Structure 1
Amino acid sequence: MSPRWSEDRLREALSRPAAPSSDFDLNPGTAPQGVTLRPAGVLAAFHADSGDLLLTKRASGLRHHPGQIALPGGKVDPGDADEVAAALREAREEVGLDPAGVELLGRLPAHRTVTGFAVTPVLGLIRADFHPVPEPGEVDEVFTLPFAHVADPARYRIERRRWRGDWRSYHVAPYGPYYLWGATARILLGLAQRLGA
Structure 2
Amino acid sequence: MDFDQVIGLLERRLKGPLPGKEAHLKMSPQPVDQRRFDTLLPLNIRNSGVLILFYPDGEDTFFPLIKRPEYPGFHSGQMAFPGGKMEKSDENIIQTALREAEEEVGVDRHQVRIIGKLTDLFIPTSNFLVSPVVGFLDERPEFVAEKNEVSRIVQTDLKTLFSRETRKQTLLEIGTHIKLDTPYFEIDGEVVWGATAMILNELIQILDIQDF
Shorter chain as denominator, the TM-score bin is 0.7 to 0.9
- Structure 1 segment 74-93 matched on structure 2, within 5 A: 74-93=84-103
Structure-1 residue corresponding to 2:197: 185
Secondary structure of 1:173's aligned partner: strand
Take 2:105 and 2:165, find their aligned partners in 1: how far apart are those partners? 29
Q: Which of 46, 49, 61 lines up with 2:54 in the alignment?
A: 46
Contact 2:46 2:129 in 1 (8 A): yes
3-state SS of paired residue (1:148): helix
Match of 2:31 in 1: 27
Aligned residue type for 2:192: L
TM-score, scaled relative to structure 2: 0.79
SS of equivalent residue, structure 2 residue 14: helix
Return closer, same or farther for 1:79/1:171 CA change in 2, 3 Å cut-off. Answer: farther
CA RMSD of superposed structures (Å): 2.7
Q: For the residues of structure 2 that align with 1:44 and 1:97, how far apart are their CA atoms?
A: 12
> What is the identity percentage for the equivalent residue pairs of Structure 1 and Structure 2?
27
Deviations 1:56-107 (A, max 9, x none): 1112236341221110001111111121111000001101110122111100
Change (3 A) 1:39 1:29: closer
Task: Confirm whether residue 172 of structure 1 aligns to residue 179 of structure 2.
Answer: no
Q: Match for residue 8 of structure 1?
A: 8
Q: CA deviation at 1:11?
A: 2.3
* Matched residue SS, 1:43: strand
| TM-score between the two structures when normalised by the length of structure 1 | 0.84
Alpha carbons 1:134, 1:142 under 8 Å: kept: yes
The unaligned stretches of length 5 or more in structure 2 are: none
Contact 1:77 1:86 in 2 (8 A): yes
Separation in structure 1 between the aligned mates of residue 61 and residue 118 of structure 2, nearest angstrom: 18
Q: Counterpart of 1:52 in 2: which secondary structure?
A: strand
CA distance in 2, matches of 1:166, 1:16: 38
Aligned length: 195
- State the 1:19 CA deviation: 4.5
Within the alignment, does 1:71 sit opposite 2:75 as a pair? no
- Structure 1 letter corresponding to 2:13: A
Closer/same/farther in 2, CA of residues 45 and 83 from structure 1, 3 Å limit: same
CA contact (8 A) 1:155 1:173 kept: yes
